[in-house]
A and B are shown apart, each in its own frame.
Chain A
């Protein structure tokens, strides 16, 4: 086994993995204890250090094709770039096993970036501390290579996100926060059941061992996949389990929405790829038609609901349901192309929707309303904001050359490649959904940026402040960069995905 070759001695990469979790945790503690005056700087500094640390694993990225050396015959083993494996709670078969590979790396960087931007953006002390706690949970989820550890970090984000919504949200924040926390806990207890079914059956929770062609009996795989997929479908969220999302987004403060859409939803899709498909590939094959149909329904439902929305944040929230539908459709095809589409769609959605929530939050905060009926003519009163909104909306609708395009287009391509009447139908319907996405975003732009300026639109400051540029510019630039070069995200994903799916290389 590969793991026998790992040397137990502490090395720089292993300290890096620990630091990725410890630095934001320490930051949160410090921000919570310090008086409110200096906390913005402290929080931003800790988030910045974490971001730098989150970029570093790329240095340990192996050369292409080195995995051939380890090929034991039935598919290459999973090879994290760097990993750390310590015993923690042996009675529960819980190991403190962390690692980074091509699938998780882009998400880790995205988490580091968005948390940094949000910490710089917010002035509130408690909010900044909670953002750093959230970062610990999200990074831990993306780093975990042990099933129970994955569950543990998955749970870490629940209460802090509840507190973010309930503490700093809008008028109906209590109800929205309660709905969020109960829904997502319902999801994560299913995750607990699924994880324990796998762990007790396989005798280990080690994802490196469990990933790939599975020894588990088919029934166990089907039960486990059903439980895990349901759990992640709540988090992602997949229609019809999405109803917590619009309320949570509408009521959450701006940075809360950004983190929720940008990284928390990704825990669901990442978990589906890494855990559900990874440990129960046969179960995934059994359930993939259902997953594909639900994903396509989500695309259409999200788009149709968006066409009727009159509230900005709610509209963006429902558009997330549609975008996540494309991601899940990609995963459901169970092909390398499809999952690559899902990964790039994940990152694109994090960047673009993060930007959209920043912009919409800024509009809503200064205009005092998010209603499409009261906002109009932003092009005249706040031209820069309107321009950025136009950019983000066009990126979100999937214009080629911007980040949103690759995920949507290749999810459809993967469905066509999968072939058969069902998948062809799903591909066609999803493509129609993509067109509807364009329709509602153009409607949004027509209503908000064009037309005569309303009194509310006049209250918007015409300029964009320095801190806003600082928070938004990286997202704009990365949207462009990923749009031009998706290999930034997909650079080292083929090999892990082949391992994950247990398939030969597909052209």
Chain B
């Protein structure tokens, strides 16, 4: 066995990502302060992104005859930077709940950084095994993160996070097994693992190789929650803490898309992919129409969005650039949407368990303050109770833009972008690039399915965005100005600083990409 030359500069992003994980672990072990651990992880994630972009395209390394296992290209660097940015963003979104102790900070940061390492590996992978190892490293920590939720003594413990984690774990393991079987069959037929060498198998093994390719695509389709392999996604998203749901629907999905793109660019899977694409976008959009819970709506919408990416990938190599561009635009807009949800659903302090007795005698209950019915009503109608840290129902967001006009504006930008309409120009260019690639390659029927789905999708995007601006008519007594009653019963709360930072940064990226999408297109082949 010949030893391979290793180019350490090419590996710099991976070193930074893995170093971040180790740093988080050590910081937790030796310093033990939440702030230090979180800051170390966030800075490490940012450093990873900077490394990826600074190294950019570089000589490939871990090369054997005919192919290399680590291939730094511009698309890989952009994807790695996206993983790093998403990790930093999700970490910042989680900071308020880490602060009150819903999850142990050290473990949380370590697992998240591990997941980022997997993402970086997927981005640069040059052979099928590295790809699968990267994908598993990306996914494994998420099983834990989905279920990692402490309950305060005053809280009713719920098994929902654990259920979600187990569902996610089982489905993921099965899908990895299927993907590995596909790789094995394909390898048996062709003897090839390197992506650059993948291609049609020689005559007697063609059928075997095709079965392998189909199984591989199906296994990876689980990861992007393509219909009919999607059933885990909405349940898992809804049970997970919101920032982790955001990570699942952005970074985890991006990993799946990258893996699929690497495979379908070389192996012909047009038939499977176009069937998956049509089913995914249509079912995703139709089911999203009926959702009444916020996170589930976003989950189904992200299922549908994956369908548009799969449609581009159905064209094979010709659609890879459009698919990656769409995925990049999509994760930015999706992160904005989730950040707004996190900002509007503040985590309640549970660690010190503020039993109301000494702290707030007025709000202690109607029994102790019979003369203050107003205060009691106000306390009762505040929607967030202690256990209510999930996304809540759509009704909980009624009139939210009245309290937080900037959050409302950011949410409108995200929804418009996901629907592919101005002012979400980034989303519009994403849609145009996919449809243009489809029309250019002669897949007009698939382009038609995509645009019909865009119309269906607008129905729920516009509904949920409009909800932010409607003031509910107060049930019970008629009042002169329902707006005033609403303001009195829905006091505005301060949005935590890390969440504001994430929103500002992501919105800035979305606006810049909206006006200068060529920046992204230049980085993709």
Contacts and interface: CB of A to CB of B under 8 A. Distances in A.
Interface of A: 88-92, 137, 148, 151-152, 155-156, 158-159, 162, 166-167, 174, 178, 181-182, 185-186, 189-190, 192-193, 196-197, 199-200
Nearest to A133: B423
B197 to A, nearest CB: 28
A196 to B, nearest CB: 4
Interface residues of B, number: 31
Contact of A91 (B433, B444, B448, B463): B433
B444 A193 contact: yes
Interface string B495-525: 0000000000000000000000110011000
B440 A182 contact: no
B312 interface: no
B272 interface: no
Given A91-B518, A159-B421, A186-B455, 11 more contacts: A89-B518, A90-B518, A90-B521, A91-B433, A159-B422, A167-B469, A178-B459, A185-B454, A189-B455, A196-B436, A196-B439
Interface string B424-460: 0100110111011001100010011001101100110
15 contacts: A91-B433, A92-B429, A92-B432, A92-B433, A155-B421, A158-B421, A159-B416, A159-B423, A182-B459, A186-B455, A189-B451, A189-B452, A192-B451, A193-B435, A197-B439
B369 interface: no
Contacts of A156: 422
B436 A199 contact: yes
Contact of B447 (A89, A137, A196): A196
Contacts of B431: 192
A363 B459 CA distance: 33
A174 B462 CA distance: 11
B64 interface: no
Given A181-B458, A182-B455, A197-B444, A192 B432 contact: yes
A174 B463 CA distance: 9
A196 B443 CA distance: 12
Nearest to B462: A181
A155 B428 contact: yes
A35 to B, nearest CB: 13
B466 interface: yes
Contact of A200 (B421, B439, B463): B439
B447 A193 contact: yes
B458 to A, nearest CB: 5
B453 to A, nearest CB: 9
Contacts of B447: 193, 196
Contacts of A167: 469
A130 to B, nearest CB: 12
A197 B433 CA distance: 13
Contact of B435 (A158, A159, A196): A196
B458 A91 contact: no
Given A192-B451, A196-B436, A88 B458 contact: no
Interface string B103-117: 000000000000000
Nearest to A148: B432
Contacts of B444: 193, 197
Contacts of A92: 429, 432-433, 436, 517, 521
A88 B514 CA distance: 11
B521 A152 contact: no
Contacts of A166: 466
A345 B416 CA distance: 34
> Which 8 pairs show the lowest CB-CB distances between chains A and B?
A189-B451, A91-B521, A196-B439, A200-B440, A156-B422, A186-B455, A185-B455, A89-B518
Contacts of A89: 429, 517-518, 521
Contacts of A88: 518
A456 B342 CA distance: 51
A192 B459 contact: no
A205 to B, nearest CB: 10
Contacts of B454: 185, 189
A155 B431 CA distance: 13
B432 A182 contact: no
A107 B338 CA distance: 42
A109 B267 CA distance: 56
A159 B427 CA distance: 14
B444 to A, nearest CB: 7
A151 B425 CA distance: 12
A143 B496 CA distance: 44
A197 B435 CA distance: 10
A325 to B, nearest CB: 26
A407 to B, nearest CB: 31
A151 B448 CA distance: 16
Contacts of A159: 416, 421-423, 462
Nearest to A137: B422
Contacts of B451: 189-190, 192-193
A158 B412 CA distance: 13
A159 B416 CA distance: 8
A174 B488 CA distance: 26
A89 B515 CA distance: 9
Contacts of B469: 167
B307 to A, nearest CB: 15
Contacts of A186: 455
Nearest to B420: A155
Contacts of B435: 192-193, 196
A386 B314 CA distance: 63
A178 B469 CA distance: 15
A193 B518 contact: no
Contacts of B462: 159, 162, 178, 181
Nearest to A151: B432
A192 B430 CA distance: 13
A181 B457 CA distance: 12
A88 B440 CA distance: 20
A137 B422 CA distance: 10
Contacts of A158: 421-422
A92 B326 CA distance: 13
A482 to B, nearest CB: 32
A89 B425 CA distance: 12
A156 B452 CA distance: 19
B422 A155 contact: yes
A41 B522 CA distance: 44
A178 B518 CA distance: 33
| Chain B CB within 10 A, most for which of A90, A167, A174, A192 | A192
A152 B428 contact: yes
B525 to A, nearest CB: 10
Interface in B445-488: 447-448, 451-452, 454-455, 458-459, 462-463, 466, 469
Contacts of B425: 152
B501 to A, nearest CB: 22
A152 B436 CA distance: 14
Nearest to B519: A89
A202 to B, nearest CB: 12
Contacts of B452: 189
A151 B431 CA distance: 12
Contacts of B439: 193, 196-197, 200
Contacts of A137: 422
A159 B425 CA distance: 13
A200 B436 contact: yes
Interface string B315-353: 000000000000000000000000000000000000000
Nearest to A154: B422
B62 to A, nearest CB: 31
A86 to B, nearest CB: 12
Contacts of A190: 451
Contacts of A155: 421-422, 428
Nearest to B457: A185
Interface string B196-234: 000000000000000000000000000000000000000
A364 B452 CA distance: 38
| Chain B CB within 10 A, most for which of A155, A167, A178, A182 | A155
A79 to B, nearest CB: 29
Nearest to B450: A189
